[in-house]
């Protein structure tokens, strides 16, 4: 049972970045822009978040307060970086995949350059501890307390809050409805007076904000508050895209998909603690490949009846009706 608690406690901080970034991808794609730059946006968020933590860690600020402020910094950085994508993909009507790839390539190189110049290292190392041993009162609750309120990060609760918020914005507001219309049939949306360019900018910017936060939460919850240009976010941005497709571009299905992938990854990295898997004596690298292989299997089964937004990937041109 302890192993089970351990696995769940470790799955959640991994699932939250995937969840947030996949939600970001959902906003962007449902508005009609393929956002393959999520990997780069995550890394931007992780880097600027950690940079902020690095500069304030010696002050007397409370660890959780620093985390919240770092989250805002990361969101801002992700938002600004995503503007580069909207500029190229919406205003300039460039190929969305290529632009995204360029943005993904730019940021690790820029981080390495910057860190080598100013820190003489490959990235940023912080020493603030964001870990929460137990939440007062709630951790006493039987079973649930152990699962969700011990050995965790505040990022888990923020992530769930942002999920609910996203779902409300997405399904219960005028804005959400208009956004979705732009991804399905932009010309129809335009004909009833919706500004397609603005909605696409909004979709990509939301993905920038959520992607930036997701990246920072990855750095906090998975990398212990560090980030570097070599490993970056280890393909989490791309995994998030797979999570989004597996979740069929819908918020709560995305949550389930994120939990599934995060659980696989946690298992892969804690083989030694699971007696029956440890006894099999399989090279650990196979388990590291598992999330990626699982992605392929899942996509193979879900893509045939894919509910992808119809207009995604096609730059909107007013002249084409």
> Which residue, chain included where needed, has tokens 């995060």?
262
The residue within the footprint of other proteins, chosen from 4, 64, 65, 98 (CB under 8 A), is 98
Q: Which residues make beta-bridge pairs with 132?
A: 152
**With CB under 8 A as the contact rule, which of the stretches 23-31, 154-162, 215-223, 288-296 interacts with other proteins?**
288-296
Own/partner long-range contacts of 267-272 (Cβ < 8 Å, ≥24 apart): 267/7, 270/6, 270/7, 270/10
Q: Taking the complex as a whole, how short is the minimal distance between the CB of residue 289 and other proteins, in angstroms?
A: 5
Q: Which of 148, 149, 238, 263 binds other proteins (CB under 8 A)?
A: 238
Among 56, 69, 83, 102, binds other proteins (CB under 8 A): 102
Q: Which of 3, 64, 68, 116 binds other proteins (CB under 8 A)?
A: 116
Answer yes or no whether residue 235 interacts with other proteins by CB under 8 A: yes
Among 7, 80, 94, 158, binds other proteins (CB under 8 A): 94
Q: Does 117 bind other proteins (CB under 8 A)?
A: yes
| Closer to other proteins by Cβ: residue 25 or 214 | 25
CB–CB of 231/112 below 8 Å? no
Asked if 288 and 17 count as a contact pair (C-beta separation under 8 A), the reply is no
Using the rule CB under 8 A, is 36 a contact of other proteins?
A: yes
Query: What does the alpha-carbon distance between residue 195 and residue 183 come to, in Å, rounded to a whole number?
Result: 12
Instruction: Quote the tokens at residue 303.
Output: 């893509």
What Rg value do the Cα atoms of the chain yield, rounded?
20
Any alpha helices (H) in 195-248, and if so which ranges?
A: 196-221, 236-246
| Stretch near other proteins under the rule CB under 8 A, chosen from 68-76, 105-113, 132-140, 189-197 | 105-113
Contacts of 121 (CB under 8 A, 6+ apart): 115, 228
Residues lying near other proteins in the complex (CB under 8 A):
36, 84, 88, 92-95, 97-99, 101-103, 105-106, 108-110, 112-113, 116-117, 229-231, 235, 238, 241-242, 245, 283, 285-286, 288-289, 292-293, 295-296, 299-300, 303-304, 306
């Amino acid at each position: 049972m302890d192993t089970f608690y351990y696995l769940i406690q470790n799955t959640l901080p991994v699932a939250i970045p995937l969840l947030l970034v996949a939600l970001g991808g959902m906003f962007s794609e449902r508005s009609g822009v393929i956002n393959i730059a999520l990997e780069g946006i995550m890394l931007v968020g992780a880097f600027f978040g950690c940079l902020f933590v690095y500069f304030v860690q010696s002050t007397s600020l409370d660890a959780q307060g620093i985390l919240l402020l770092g989250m805002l910094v990361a969101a801002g950085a992700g938002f600004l970086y995503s503007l580069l994508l909207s500029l190229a993909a919406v205003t300039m009507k460039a190929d969305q995949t290529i632009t995204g790839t360029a943005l993904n390539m730019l940021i690790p190189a820029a981080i390495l350059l910057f860190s080598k110049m100013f820190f003489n290292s490959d990235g940023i190392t912080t020493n603030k501890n964001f870990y929460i041993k137990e939440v007062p009162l709630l951790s006493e609750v039987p079973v649930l307390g152990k699962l969700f309120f011990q050995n965790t990060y505040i990022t888990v609760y923020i992530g769930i809050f942002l999920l609910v918020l996203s779902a409300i914005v997405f399904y219960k507001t005028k804005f959400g409805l208009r956004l979705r219309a732009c991804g399905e049939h932009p010309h129809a949306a335009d004909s009833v007076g919706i500004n397609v360019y603005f909605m696409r900018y909004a979709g990509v910017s939301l993905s920038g904000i959520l992607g930036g936060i997701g990246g920072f939460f990855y750095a906090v919850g998975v990398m212990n508050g560090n980030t570097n240009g070599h490993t970056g976010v280890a393909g989490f941005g791309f995994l998030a895209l797979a999570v989004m497709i597996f979740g069929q571009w819908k918020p709560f299905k995305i949550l389930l998909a994120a939990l599934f992938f995060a659980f696989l990854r946690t298992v892969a990295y804690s083989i030694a603690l699971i007696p029956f898997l440890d006894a099999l004596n399989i090279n650990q690298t196979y388990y590291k490949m598992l999330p990626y292989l699982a992605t392929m299997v899942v996509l193979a089964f879900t893509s045939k009846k894919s509910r992808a937004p119809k207009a995604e990937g096609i730059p909107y041109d007013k002249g084409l009706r």
